[in-house]
Amino acid sequence: MPPYLGESHESVIRFLTKAEKILALYKDPFEKGIILQQVDAIEKGNTAAKAAIDIALHDLTGKLQNKPCYTFWNADRSKTPFSFFTIGMDSEEMIRQKVTEGEQFHFLKIKLSGENDKSIIETIRSVSNKPIAVDVNQGWKDKHQALDMMEWLAEKNTLFVEQPLAKEKVDDMAWLTERSPLPTIADESVQRLTDLEKIKNVFSGINIKLMKCTGMHEASKMILRARELDLKILIGCMSETSCAIAAASHLSPLVDWADLDGAELIKNDLFRGTALINGKMMPSDLPGIGVEKIGKN
């Protein structure tokens, strides 16, 4: 739960306590569309807490039908895209080490900030020619400098650039997308389904995260609407356990790219589920989201 979303362990517990009253009114989990609508209406925000309920409902209904969740959307598991392995800003030595740690992944995702960006990319390229994506986290300040950098990145086997400018710079972002040789992906600029209409002429695509959009139900709607708007789709994650990663993986065959390495970057994973197979976070064929608990809270 990243701080910018305004959630904490305490806020989640508080919201789930309120949600218990709503959930107690329903006996049929297959009414999950109505249930989730009622849960969403409890109060604004609390998207990670809402995602917890959403994931639990999808897992339950999958188990009751003895079906993996990806079948809910007629997704073709064989179309699961390669996932990215994230490399943060660090010393050259640590960056090279991280590239080695991610050798099972076919794609790399590089964090940039506007400082020493070319040096970071050159360090990556000194040890790997794998396709990369770049996540700037709103770090570039000037649209002209951003365009110069994207033209340079286009020659470095780069797939796309995520959130290059501050989310408030809507006009600058539209200008940049129109001229960029690379797709531009909205992250901080898009959270939920209603945000898609605001960015359809501003970015080339969107990053959907279950913890931002309240879960699998709304994420599936965002995918459908993004396709209608001819937007590219990345499904991403926060630093999460395999429970949340598994849930997102069931939607991944429907998108262009997957950035689902969150559980690979933590030490206290409580679940086993989605497997990394040939560079892909493959959704499980087990009923529901296909996870089992392996640790203690």
How many Cβ atoms from other residues are within 10 Å of residue 88's Cβ? 13
pLDDT, tens digit (0-9, with 9 covering 90-100), for 87-136: 998 899 999 999 999 999 999 999 999 889 999 999 999 999 999 999 99
Looking up tokens 């989605």 gives 274
- Report how far residue 73's alpha carbon sits from residue 224's, in angstroms, rounded to the nearest whole number: 10
- CA-to-CA distance for 119 and 99, rounded, in angstroms? 15
Pairing of strands 232-236, 275-277: unpaired
Q: What is the pLDDT of residues 244-271, one digit of tens each?
A: 999 999 999 999 999 999 998 888 899 9
- Domains of the chain, CATH where assigned: 3-70 (3.30.390.10), 72-293 (3.20.20.120)
Nearest to 166 by CA among 191, 146, 194, 137: 137
The pLDDT of residue 130: 97
| Both tokens assigned to 178 | 């129109």
Closest CA to 133 of 113, 155, 153: 153
E strands present in 69-140: 84-87, 107-111, 132-135
Give pLDDT, residue 297. 57
d(CA 57, CA 289) in angstroms, rounded, equals 10
How would DSSP label each residue in 220-233? HHHHHHHHHTT-EE
Q: What is the mean pLDDT of residues 14-31?
A: 95
| Rounded percentage of the chain residues whose pLDDT exceeds 70 | 99
**For residues 162 and 138, what is the distance between their CA atoms, to the nearest angstrom?**
8
User: Going by DSSP bridges, is the β-strand pair 107-111/132-135 parallel, antiparallel, or unpaired?
Assistant: parallel
Kindly list the distances between the CA atom of residue 47 and the CA atoms of 56, 87, 195, 205, 285, in Å, as whole numbers in the listed order. 14, 26, 14, 21, 27
Tokens of residue 108, six digits: 């790399």
Give the residue among 179, 187, 170 at the shortest CA–CA distance from 145: 179
Q: Please, which pLDDT band fits residue 237 given cuts at 50, 70 and 90?
A: very high
**What is 58-87 written as a DSSP string?**
HHHHHHHHT-BGGGGGT--GGGPPPBEEEE
Q: What kind and span of H or E run contains 184?
A: strand 184-186
Reference 227, options 196, 252, 248; nearest CA is 196
Give the CB-side neighbour count of residue 268, counting CA atoms within 13 A.
Answer: 3
pTM (2 d.p.): 0.94
